[in-house]
Every structure is written in structure tokens, then in C-alpha cells.
A and B are shown apart, each in its own frame.
Chain A
């Protein structure tokens, strides 16, 4: 079997950025990249790449990574290739900087139609910047495909995809005929680290780049969500530090304090 897998990935600000370094520009309603900190591939998208590579290893296949944005850090966005993906398609245009899932899904759908043949589309369950969790479901609607969400295991057999889907109290086994979309969650397990060989191998790889004009979509038609404000919430809480003679004493005093406050 030779499964054709498309993985949608997004380059995001490093979510591990400490809150002290996280700044936003309220005027342009955008988060500012912290100085000296590189962007990363969205964590859940790395899980999706990992899921694709596991399928490729078990049944054989070709993994094409698609990413949309205004600008890319090449060594960051090539990471899925270094992990073992085969092709990289960048949808790169000034107009592609958007937080509107309706716009993003329509651009990705146009690119996926242009790619043409595929069996499986894998996406992260959501992006760690805008946390919309809408684009994969939008793709399902636009492309007329089934969508299995929040998977911790993805397998292909007999023309179908079977996923273990994380639920609040366990998991569900769900199945759909191919072609289909599956969103992947961190419960899948750690994505592999690229090998030195993998990293060396991709330095010279030139991704396919498509601009807005290559996709023939009218973005103005797709605007549905407009950001009117973006701010960092102010926390007013003042923490009372309980300090005893030593750590054990602090623990004991904490219990007394909580009792005094009628919390226990």
C-alpha cells in the first residue's frame, strides 16, 4: 500500500515563552515574537507529523507537509522533513497572515485540491497560538470528507482509517472510509527528534512555494472573524507567602492558614 498523506502544520510563537517575555501590540492586535526566541512548529502538528510517519513506516506512503503563512523560518518549518516527511509545500503570501479560520481553511482547501490526490489529511487538534480548533473541521466541510478528532492513535487498514479518540473519561474507537481527515492530540506520544542525518539532508531541499495568485481564491469573500481587541489580562491577586522555620514548618503553617480561612 502506498498511502498519500497530507499533514497541515503551522509555525507559531514558542508557547514555552515565559509570560514575562510574552508581549502583544494592542494597536495591530498581534503577539510580538520574543527577542532571541525562534518560532516553533505547533506542538499538536508535530504529533500529526509523527502519526503520519508511523503510518508510513507500517504500511508505506508519501508524506506531504503543507503550511500557510506570511513568512517562515526555514530551519523551523523544515523540521517535519528532517523528521522523515517527503515533501514540503509552503503557501506563502503577505495575505496569508490571518487568524480567521474561515480564510485559513479555504486557502488550505484550495492548496489541497491543487495537490490533487491524497488518502489522508492529518492536522494537529488545534494551534497553540489562536486555539481555534476549527480549520480541520472546516476542511472536512469544504472538501466533503469525514473528520475524526483528537486522536491518540491513527491506523490505516482496508481503505479505512481507524483512530482512538481521546474523551473526557477514556477513549473511543472511531472509523471512516478514506479519504478522511484526522486531528491528532499530544496523547499520541512524543514526536521523534530529527536525526543529524535528517537535519543535514534537508538543508538543501527547496520547498514548493505557492502564492495567493497560484491558488485562485478570493480572500475578501471569506472574512468571517475580525479581531477587535487583543490584550493580556491583568491579574490582581496578591499572593501571601507562608514562611516557617523550614519547609516542613511552612507546610504545617499552610494547613493552619487554610483552616483559619475555613478552606479545609
Chain B
């Protein structure tokens, strides 16, 4: 077996293609690879043969490892761990990057413990230690109130990467690459956590994560009624509405609308935070917005430190007047 090394990216397959969050790994991984003087390679794990290898090559992978097994269906994390363990033995990458998706946030740590190596979750920055050439991961801690830089030990050094932090790599159809099939053996009995049923809440209209304008409501709305108002504004602006965790925990809106560290990450052009104090746990989900606007009655609220424009006032007065003016401007 060849002694290959490189920066290995795990490409999650979604609807027959590489998932958008996995595509962001190519850019970040490419920089690490050139820093290490090693190739950027990708592992594509899928339940059946699909033609996504050219996409990985066009995004910068010089070699693509194809792993096909019926258990690799996007949900059986134990099967993914087993498959990647075998891939790592074959490829011997120095760094392994995984998107911090629902699957990735479990896959990264499990694989690290399986291989006895280190893993950092939720990377927002990736670099190399100038002397040891070990992976340095910048990651938010204390709910985003602080940033830690951690040095990871082992081979491979594993990081899961926060979505929407790194730009997607440019697609270049002229790039060349090799496709290598890696046969894996996965005994069905290793899958001990069984998926019984998926229950999706009916999402109405635009997905929060895709909206260019997002209106968020917080604890200060004092009840579910305020969200009708925000929904109106969102509709008017062709955007979507979301909420902070306290508003979801209070039962005013469903948890699927939650923006923040343990909720959704939004990166709109405009984020309007209404009656949200701006705790770091919330900002973790919206600080990627191009412009943040704050409406809050407390002039000392942290949100004004994050916002570009602010109104200090009672949302019950500010928002209806804002909505009326927007309606007029857009008519």
C-alpha cells in the first residue's frame, strides 16, 4: 500500500451531489494543503454509485476516493465511522476536514476516538503551527463570547468546520484528478442506533438559512403575538423570520425557527433583531449577516455593539411604523 498523505475532505452527498457545506471545505482544505505541500484529496461516501467525483475534482481535489455501501445513506453515523476508519488506514491523511452538519458533528468526534487522535469541533479558522506544522483550529467557546485556538495532535488531525464561514471553492472544469475506489466492509450489526421515523415540520415559504433578509424576535417580544408582526415584515421584505432561544423555549415559536449556537446559522444581507439582547449564544447564529439592525428598548443591550444601525425604543411602536414605511417605499 502506498504511503499517501494529504488533506482529506469528507464530501457529504445530498440529492446526488456534494452538499453545499461540504463544498466549503475545499477552499479551506486547499489552503492547508498548499501550506503543508501536500495534495488536497476527497472521500465521497454514498449508498450508491453516483457521478459526483467530477464535481470534487472541479472543486480542487487531485484525487477522489469513492466509497459505496448501502448503509452510507446519510443517517447511520456508525457506518460512516467504520467506512472512514478504513479510508484513513488506506489514505493516511495528515488532516481530515468534515462539515459540522448533523452527521458531521457526530462523525468527527467518533472517528477521532476510534483512531485515538484529536478533534476540534466547529472550526471558524484553520491554520498551521509555524514550527510543528500541526493543525491549529480557531473555534468559538463560551457560546461565542471568546475564541480559542487549539493545536490538535495525531494523524489525521480532525476538525469539523462550521457552515457558512468559508466560501465555496471556485469550480474549474479544467482541473484534472484521479478517482480511486475503496471497497469497505461494514457489518450491518455495528449500526446500533436505528432510525425509526423522520418527522419534518412543514416549512412554509422561504428557508431561514437561504433568506437574504431575516427578522429575528427575542424574549422582549413578551409573547407569541409579536411574531405575527415580524412575519408580516419578513413577508413584505421577501425574507424569513426567526427567533432567539428564549423565545423558542417559551413556546412562542417552534424550535425550528431558532437562530443561534444550537439553532440555525443565518448569513443574510440584512438581519433585523427585534427585542433581542444579543447574547453571544444568539450572535453565534447571525454574526455572519452583512448588516445587523437592532431594535431594543435597552440602550445598553449587547446587540447595539454588534449592530450597524439601531433604534432604542419600544418595538410595539417602532415595528408597526417601520412596517408601514416599508410598505409605502416598496409600493
Question: Chain A residues in contact with chain B, CB under 8 A?
Answer: 13, 15-16, 18-19, 22, 24, 29, 31, 99-102, 105, 125-126, 128-134, 137-138, 140-142, 145-149, 152, 162, 166-177, 180, 185-187, 190, 223-233, 235, 237, 239-243, 246-252, 254-259, 261, 263-264
> Contact at B150–A169, with CB atoms within 8 Å?
no
Check A146 against B192 for contact (C-beta < 8 Å).
yes
Chain B residues closer than 8 Å to A224, beta-carbon distance: 112, 117-119, 152-154
Give which listed residue, B109, B305, B320, contacts A248 with CB less than 8 A.
B320
In the complex the two chains form, what is the Cα distance from A241 to B146 in whole Å? Answer: 26
Having A147-B110, A228-B151, A241-B310, one finds 4 other A-B pairs with CB under 8 Å, namely A19-B145, A141-B110, A168-B102, A224-B152
Judged by a CB distance under 8 angstroms, whether B313 is at the interface is: yes
Report whether over half of chain B's contact residues are helix, strand or loop; otherwise say mixed.
mixed
B256 near A: Cβ within 8 Å?
Answer: yes
Question: Residue of B at shortest CB range from A162?
Answer: B196
Tell me the minimal C-beta distance from A150 to chain B in angstroms.
8
Question: In angstroms, how far is the closest chain A Cβ from the Cβ of B264?
Answer: 7
Residues of A within 8 A of B78 (CB): 146
8 A Cβ contacts from B303-331 to A: 304-314, 317-326, 329-330
- Cβ of B242 within 8 Å of any chain A Cβ, yes or no, is no
Q: Is the CB of A251 within 8 A of B325?
A: yes
Residues of A within 8 A of B106 (CB): 137, 147, 149
Q: How far is the CB of A126 from chain B (nearest CB, A)?
A: 8
Given known pairs A15-B281, A174-B196, A259-B329, the reply for A22 and B142 (CB within 8 Å) is yes
Interface check B122, CB cutoff 8 A: yes
Name the residue on B nearest A255 (C-beta): B325
A170 B192 Cβ-Cβ under 8 A = no
Q: Are A235 and B306 in contact (CB under 8 A)?
A: yes
Chain B residues within an 8 Å CB radius of A257: 309
Choose from B152, B318, B324 the contact partner of A250 (Cβ within 8 Å).
Answer: B318
Distance to closest chain A CB from B292 (angstroms): 8
Shortest beta-carbon distance from B251 to chain A in Å: 9
Q: What residues on B are CB-neighbors of A256 within 8 Å?
A: 325, 329
Are B321 and A24 within 8 A (Cβ)? no
Cβ A175 vs Cβ B117 within 8 A: no
A255 engages B310 (CB within 8 Å): no
Interface residues of B (CB under 8 A from A): 75, 78, 102, 105-106, 108-110, 112-114, 117-122, 129, 136, 139-143, 145-154, 192-201, 203, 213, 237, 245, 249, 255-256, 261-262, 264, 269-270, 279-281, 291-295, 302, 304-314, 317-326, 329-330
Q: How many residue pairs bridge A and B at CB < 8 Å?
A: 254
Interchain CB contact under 8 A, A175 and B249: no
CA distance A15 to B245 in the complex (A): 13
Cβ–Cβ < 8 Å partners of A15 in chain B: 142-143, 281
Interface pairs A-B: 9 shortest CB-CB:
A224-B118, A251-B321, A255-B325, A247-B317, A146-B192, A247-B313, A141-B113, A251-B322, A248-B321
Q: Evaluate contact between B306 and A170: CB separation under 8 angstroms.
A: no
With contact pairs A175-B194, A225-B150, A239-B308 given, residues A254 and B119 touching in the complex (Cβ less than 8 Å): no
By CB atoms of chain A within 10 A, which of B106, B114, B153 has the most? B106
Residue of A nearest to B284 (CB): A131
Kindly state the separation between the CA atoms of A134 and B312 in the bound complex, as whole angstroms: 40
Evaluate contact between B305 and A237: CB separation under 8 angstroms.
yes
Bound complex: CA of A262 vs CA of B237, how far in Å?
12
Q: Can you list 16 pairs linking A and B with CB atoms under 8 Å apart?
A: A101-B119, A134-B112, A138-B110, A141-B110, A169-B203, A180-B192, A186-B262, A225-B152, A227-B150, A232-B145, A232-B146, A233-B147, A242-B311, A252-B322, A261-B309, A264-B213
Q: Would you call B121 and A172 a contact (CB within 8 A)?
A: no
Name the residue on A nearest B149 (C-beta): A229
CB distance from B247 to the nearest CB of A (A): 12
Contacts A105-B113, A237-B306, A240-B308 known; A129 to B321 CB distance under 8 Å?
no
Which residues in B have their C-beta under 8 angstroms from that of A251? 295, 311, 313, 317-323, 325
Interface of A is mostly: mixed
Residue of chain A at shortest CB distance from B137: A225
In whole angstroms, what is the CA distance A231 to B150 when docked? 12
Instruction: Find out whether the CB atom of A186 lies under 8 angstroms from the CB atom of B330.
Output: no
CB pair B270–A240 under 8 Å, yes or no, is: no
Which of A24, A147, A248 lies at the interface centre, i.e. has the most chain B CB atoms within 10 A of its CB?
A248
State A129–B261 Cα separation when bound (angstroms): 12
Across the interface, which residues of B come within 8 angstroms of A133, CB to CB?
105, 109, 121-122
Given A223-B153, A230-B146, A251-B321, are A131 and B306 neighbors across the interface (CB < 8 Å)? no
CA–CA, A170 and B264, complex, Å: 12
Assess the B154–A228 pair: CB atoms within 8 A: no
CB-CB nearest in chain B for A259: B329
A248 vs B325: C-alpha distance when bound (angstroms): 10
Residue of B nearest to A190 (CB): B249
- Would you call A254 and B318 a contact (CB within 8 A)? yes
CA distance A171 to B254 in the complex (A): 12
Partner of B280, one of A19, A99, A176, A229: A19
Query: A243 near B143 (CB under 8 angstroms)?
Result: no
Of all chain A residues, the one with the shortest Cβ separation from B115 is: A141
8 Å CB contact of B314 from A152, A166, A226, A247 = A247
Contact A255/B317 with A19-B145, A176-B192, A239-B294 known, Cβ cut-off 8 Å:
no
Within the complex, which residue of A24, A186, A249, A264 is in contact with B270, where a contact is CB–CB below 8 Å? A264
Contacts of A235 in B (CB 8 A): 305-306
A256 CB to nearest chain B CB (Å): 7
